[in-house]
Each structure stands twice: as C-alpha cells, then as structure tokens.
Amino acid sequence: MNAVRRGYLYAVVAYALWGVFPVYFKALRPAGPFEILAHRVIWSVVFVAIVLAIARRWRALAALRHQRRKLAGIGLAAAFIAVNWGVYIYGVNTDHVVETSLGYFINPLVTVLLGVLALHERLRSAQWIAVGIGAVAVVVLTIDYGRLPWIALALAFSFGMYGFVKKQLALPATDGLFLESSALALPALVYLVVLGAQGHSTFGQGSAWHTVGLTLTGVATAVPLLLFAGAANRLTLTALGMIQYLAPTLQLLIGVAVYHEPMPPARWAGFGLVWLALVIFSVDGLRATNARRRGVPAVTEPELSDVVSQ
C-alpha cells in the first residue's frame, strides 16, 4: 500500500471512529458526563505517556518548561478542549446526538469567522455567502428548537478556538494531547476522588465492562488523533477537508436511525442550509486550491488544521 492510500485509510478510520463516539459514550452510562470527562482526561494522560515513552520524546517535552508563553497557550488550549469534550459528552448522554453533529458541521464556518475576527483575514465572496447561509441556518434551528442550539454552537466555537490556539503552538499531536490532558489531570483527579468519597462514582461499582470502558476512554481519545496525524502527513489539505464531514454525518445518522431523535421538517431545513453553506465553502476552497496551483493569487483561507474534527 503506497503512502497516499495509507493516508486515505488513516483518515477514513479516524473520522469513522470520531463518528461513532456517541455509541461509545452512551454505553458508559450510568456514569455522568463529568465523570466520563474526568476519566477521559486521566486515561489520556496515561495512554499518551506510554506512547511518548516508546517514542522517546520526553526530552523534547522537558524543553518546553522554560517557554512560559507556550505553557500559557497549552493551558488555554486545555480549557477549550475541556469545554468541547464536556459539552459533547453531555449532548450525547442527554439525547442530543443530532445537535452535536450540527456543531461539527458548522465548525468550518465558525473557523472562517474566527479568522476574520481574530486574524483580520479577508474572505472571498463565496466564503461570506457560506457564512451568511450558516447564520440563517442557526436562526431557523433556533426557531425549531425553541431555543438557541447552544450545544452545537458551544462545540463549534470551543473547537474553533482550540484549533486557533493549537495553530499558534505548533506542537506534535501526541505532545499537545499529553500536555493539555496533564493540565486538566489534577482537577479531574480531585473530582473523581470527591465523587468516590460521596459514593457516587460508577468506576469499579458496576460491571467489569463498564470499568474497562471508562479506562479505555484514553485510548479512544488518542488513537483517532494519531491516525489523523498520520493522514495529514500523507494527504493534501483538500482531501482531508472533504473526508472531515464523515464524522458529523455518521453522528447525524446514529442520532436519527439508532436513537430515533426527532427530525421535524424545520430541522431538516436548517441542516439543509448548513449543507448548502458547506457545499459553497468546499467548492470555493477547491477552486482556490486549483488557482494557487496555476499560480493565480487567491485570498488567504484558513488552514485545515483549524477546522478538523474532535
């Protein structure tokens, strides 16, 4: 298998794993969202520490202790990913899988908007149209839900900000995940200790499968990220950009077909507007890529590293 085919395989498997996360997190009930989040943090540290030990990357990590600016950035990234993970687990385990999928559908549009607001980037006309249609979609879905789709928006903006900070840090995937999880490890551990002292912990109290499932949250977090990193080294940004929609598509299908979450006509209309915006956004991105290959100047667009999922 050549490098490109291996890259496609890694990307499809990574996004497919992210896409079936709702099934995994629902299987961890009766653990609450915060207990699952705390275990995800702790076991991510453990698993990635093993990976780093095998890769012998401790010296590179140790060099970061003198870089206060990067350490502050890691702390900020950790806060954003904690919000993202926590809201996602809450959404899944409160029967809002469809809304979580919406968050990752609109994430690329939010990232474009963040580029304008934070980096003062200029957007092409098609990108503005896509963002505008996305905004209309949010209004339609707000009317349908009878409330702002806050789960979707929180996921989109928290991951958008996480990508923004990560771009500035420019750390390898495993290093970043380990440092971010480490920053969250102490509060996560304190939470689990308090939960256990109150008699509300489910770890070790239910079936063996439940305990194993909580333990494997670290593996479930790290493996897709490592696969994505392998894909990113072998594929073009355009190819990865197209594959990234696999994850929210699977989440939507699972929410509707497996968990029978309601999808009234107005909700389908809202999602339809989001998909229209993504089509415009993607086609425009392809045209800009082709123009650059021909040597035609194009307005700078956000990099894929800012818009990839989970």
What is the rounded distance in angstroms from the CA atom of residue 127 to the CA atom of residue 282? 9
In this predicted model, which residue has the larger pLDDT, 254 or 284? 254
Tell me, what's the pLDDT at 172?
80
User: Residue 249: which residues within 8 A CB-CB, separation 6 or more?
Assistant: 19, 101
For residues 188-217, give the mean pLDDT: 92
Q: Which of 16-20, 183-187, 229-233 has the lowest mean pLDDT?
A: 229-233
Q: Which of 8-12, 172-176, 193-197, 222-226 has the lowest mean pLDDT?
A: 172-176
C-alpha distances (whole Å) from 273 to each of 82, 96, 136, 295 are 29, 20, 8, 33
For residues 179-205, give the mean pLDDT: 92
Tell me, what's the pLDDT at 67?
83
What percentage of the chain reaches a pLDDT higher than 70?
A: 93
Tell me, what's the pLDDT at 86?
95
Query: For 17, left (φ over 0), alpha (ψ -120 to 50), or beta?
Result: alpha
Residue carrying the six token digits 């073009």: 236
Tell me, what's the pLDDT at 237?
66
Nearest to 216 by CA among 52, 33, 24, 53: 24
Tell me, what's the pLDDT at 98?
95
Tell me, what's the pLDDT at 297?
52
The helix (run of H) or strand (run of E) holding residue 184 is helix 173-197
Structure tokens at 7: 């890259």
For residues 114-132, give the mean pLDDT: 83
C-alpha distances (whole Å) from 34 to each of 87, 201, 202, 310 are 10, 11, 12, 18
pLDDT exceeds 80 at position 110: yes
Structure tokens at 78: 């950790």
**CA geometry: angle at 93 spanning 90 and 99, to 5°?**
70
Q: Which of 18-22, 83-87, 182-186, 240-244 has the lowest mean pLDDT?
A: 240-244
Residue carrying the six token digits 């790290």: 222
CB 27 within 8 A of CB 203: no
For residues 197-218, give the mean pLDDT: 90
**Which residue type does 279 have?**
V
Tell me, what's the pLDDT at 207?
85
Using pLDDT thresholds of 50, 70 and 90, give the confidence band for residue 253: very high
Instruction: Write down the mean pLDDT value for the chain.
Output: 87
CB 60 within 8 A of CB 175: yes
Structure tokens at 227: 């696969």
